[in-house]
Amino acid sequence: MFYDTSSYREKLVGTRDDRVHGIVVVVPSESKRLIAKGVLALPEVKRALKEGLFVVSRGTTTAYIAEEILGLKLPKANCTAGIVTDSRLAVTIPEEGLGPWVFRRGVKIEESAEEALKQFTATDVSVKGASAIDPQGNVGVLAANDFGGTIGSIWPVLAARGSHLIVPAGLEKMIASVIDASWACGNKLFRYVMGTRVALMPVVSAKVVTEIQALEILTGVHAIHVSSGGVGGSEGAVVIALEGSDETVKRAFELVQSVKGEPPIGMPRLQPPVPAVFN
């Protein structure tokens, strides 16, 4: 489900023509930075960072959240195990990987994510990125691991305990249906593969934060996704319309301007390609 931002949005007055409007463009690296700021503004995240456990799983988008907390720059391409790059479904070098990151009362600790998860209560928070989202707010996570990877290990525990699962995901990852897509995937299903065989693990009740939710949470603006795509360095860009009072739209516009120029994520060293055809 998408994170409910209705309480954050300012009340619209008059008709469309009485309000102020803006339009912005964000490329994926800028989106990730914007979304990270939005996630850290959530009340359940603030509470977990103040009083409890906050676990950030590996991923390129989630690495921005770790950066914001730690106040340092991370080689984000090395902050994930699976990655789509080099025109294939790829896997990074395990020994060069960074993350996950575990915080207790806002302080990074060396305890493993697995050990921290055993201590989770209903008010603790786990953050996991996504490979796909759909219009209903369902989440899909690509997993090469036979047992569902990270999401396969954490989701049953979080669901059982009523803990918070926050999923930061850019609108570039929007697909028609996560449920349909998950049925079409399986790491024992594919014979012809560009890279690594994967499943798409469906999650139906995580709280999804996209650029829309981040803008609405941080500024009170009404945001609408109106277009996607681009070329010449703007591949994966999303175009978002803004609506509200002049003060609110200006605040949202300036927030987007503040993340402009976020450098793109490079390509890490990868494990060798696997055969394109499996017997």
225 in a structural domain: no
Share of the chain above pLDDT 70, in %: 100
Instruction: Return the pLDDT at 63.
Output: 98
Mean pLDDT confidence for 216-241: 97
Per-residue pLDDT reduced to its tens digit, 154-184: 999 999 999 999 999 999 999 999 999 999 9
132 in a structural domain: yes
What domain range is 80 assigned to?
Answer: 35-210
100 in a structural domain: yes
263 in a structural domain: no
8 in a structural domain: no
Residue 4 pLDDT exceeds 70: yes
Mean pLDDT confidence for 221-241: 97
188 in a structural domain: yes
Instruction: Return the pLDDT at 275.
Output: 83
Mean pLDDT confidence for 136-159: 94
Mean pLDDT confidence for 44-70: 98
13 in a structural domain: no
Higher pLDDT, 277 or 167: 167
Residue 137 pLDDT exceeds 80: yes
The answer to pTM > 0.85 is: yes
135 in a structural domain: yes
Per-residue pLDDT reduced to its tens digit, 5-18: 999 999 999 999 99
Mean pLDDT confidence for 68-92: 94
Instruction: Return the pLDDT at 276.
Output: 84
- To the nearest whole number, what is the mean pLDDT of the chain? 96
Instruction: Return the pLDDT at 274.
Output: 81
Using 50, 70 and 90 to split pLDDT, how confident is the model at 273?
confident
Share of the chain above pLDDT 90, in %: 95
Residue 35 pLDDT exceeds 70: yes
Domain count, the chain: 1
Instruction: Return the pLDDT at 279.
Output: 67
CA distance 30 to 16: 28
